[in-house]
Amino acid sequence: MLPQISPVLGIVAGCISFSAYVLYMISTVKGRTKPSRSTWWILTLVGIMIASSYYASGARDTIWVALSYVLGPLIISILSLKYGEGKWERLDKWCLASAIISASVWAIFRSAQIALVTNIVMDFLGLIPTIKKSYLRPEGEDRAAWTLESFSGALNIFAIEKWTFSIAFYPLYLLIVNGIVTLFLYMPIIRRKFAKKQSI
């Protein structure tokens, strides 16, 4: 990607990413979406760790999406106290403890890259309840918000300034995991269209 374009794309991707969170917040307040309390609090904590370690690893043009993954989840976490669902299960507690441990790993090894990978793994584990819900009960998630988030992830790929592991791994991870949730949310529509074609 051209050096002068990457920063712009990164900022645009970050704005789109946060816009997706705004849609999610509106849907939550209106009662259409029931965010998993445990998932969003874990994502907030892990988001802080990821943004910090990602920046320390050298990310600049692609940092804006990481920052939106701190502010967005934090606001949704607060909203989930009133509008959310779910209790803290064993997996949730383990993910939270692991996120705290990863901070210790960073301090001990003094490696932002190790902390980044550790936190991305924790992020994925924290998303498991939402991934499960998007597959089993897709009506409980906001399809437009997740679609916008997937688009933001795709755009952020083009903002990668250096194709090194520490810079590219996180944007690629976001593109894949958001794409999975988005796909699950569109599955009922895909199934209906397929069933309609089969009945013709």
pLDDT tens string 91-101: 667 767 766 77
pLDDT 10s digits, 77-134: 999 999 998 776 676 677 677 667 777 877 788 888 888 888 888 788 778 878 988 9
Q: Is the Cα torsion angle 103, 104, 105, 110 positive or negative in sign?
A: positive
- CA 196 – CA 54 distance, rounded (Å): 46
Residue 32 lies in a domain: yes
E strands, 38-184, where? none
Query: Do 152 and 65 form a contact (C-beta atoms < 8 A)?
Result: yes
Phi, psi (deg, nearest 5) at residue 53: -70, -30
Q: Record the tokens describing residue 106, joined without a space.
A: 């960073």
pLDDT 10s digits, 29-38: 999 888 888 8
- For the chain, the domain total comes to 1
- The confidence band for 174, taking pLDDT boundaries of 50, 70 and 90, is very high
Residue 112 lies in a domain: yes
Residue 1 lies in a domain: no
Residue 130 lies in a domain: yes
Q: What mean pLDDT is predicted for residues 60-69?
A: 95
Q: What range defines the domain where residue 106 resides?
A: 6-199
